[in-house]
Structure 1
Amino acid sequence: MTTEVDRCIEEYYAAFRAADIEQMMRLWGERPDIVCIHPGSPRAHRGVAEVMESWLLVFARELNIGIEPKIVGRHQTGDTISIVIEEAITRPGDVAPTGTILISQTWHLLDSRWRLLFHHASHGRRAAPPQDGMFVPNAGDKTRH
């Protein structure tokens, strides 16, 4: 059974993977108090114009990465849905995920449609680099720190 949470996530990732700004912005509430924060962003983007500009910048970058979202938290109360997602990220040339992005979103039922009000994404853990072929200094008095 598909829930409202599942539909919201499906629509969000369809817009993200297609890098479709119109599809992405249809998901957002048309309100001055919406907020979007991307990984590494120096600030929170507020309002429709800033949020749209922030997504245009994301979509302008090469998005040649694999994303496997996993919902790790969900809560729905009446007209509000809160979701926490952990994305496993696989970069080109990697055979397995090498890092994660952590996302929290708040959706609200507006005009009979679920609309995104808040989106906060940040870098999660990164996989440890492989030891093969890496320089690993000897311990002891030969190190400088």
Structure 2
Amino acid sequence: MSSPIFTTPDEVEAAFYAALAHADLDRMMAIWSEDDEVVCVHPGSIRLIGLVAIRESWRQLFASGARITVSATHPVRWSNLMTAVHTVHQHVHVEGDDRLHPPIIATNVFARGALGWKMVMHHASPAPDMDNLHSNDSPHIIH
């Protein structure tokens, strides 16, 4: 199976969310750069470096049987000729679970290479509880 050639970072991002929705490991891995230094951080998890670790994390998630649909909103995008950074709010729906889950803030980084655009980093973190955040007098910025 040949790897798709993505002509824009938006195409890669759409393919990422489609692979996630279909729990398709081959499609998920086709969006990643073959660079040894690719990075993925799932919400509340450790930093994974390299395709082997990233593939295994997605394999485990997809094998769990949970079907996840993510809608990305509030995009902020930055790009140049070789690199693109997208940060979004992800609204996650797990099939069979009618609870409203808090949003996740994700950063997706893409690099342009000889074979088009590929993902080099995905970092997702739970959004802070804004109600409690505003009522607390402590600083809200850690670094």
TM-score by length of 2: 0.75
CA distance 1:114–1:40, change in 2 (3 Å): same
Answer yes or no: is the 8 Å Cα contact 2:40–2:47 preserved in 1: yes
Stretches (4+) displaced over 4 A: 125-128
Equivalences for 1:19-98 in 2 at 5 Å? 19-41=23-45, 43-91=46-94, 92-94=97-99, 97-98=100-101
How many pairs does the alignment contain?
A: 123
Distance 1:25 1:83 in 2: 19
- Write the deviation string for residues 21-58 of structure 1: whole angstroms up to 9, x where unpaired: 111111001111001100111x2111110110111122
* Cα RMSD for the two superposed structures: 2.2
Equivalences for 1:104-123 in 2 at 5 Å? 104-123=107-126
Structure 1: runs of 5 or more not aligned: 129-145
SS in 2 for 1:99: coil
Deviation of the 1:87 alpha carbon:
1.1
Structure 2: runs of 5 or more not aligned: 1-6, 132-143
Answer yes or no: is the 8 Å Cα contact 1:71–1:85 preserved in 2: yes
TM-score by length of 1: 0.75
- Write the deviation string for residues 89-128 of structure 1: whole angstroms up to 9, x where unpaired: 345224xx43111110110012231111011011114698
Distance 1:71 1:79 in 2: 23
Deviation of the 1:65 alpha carbon:
4.4
Q: Percent identity?
A: 26
2:137 corresponding residue in structure 1:
none
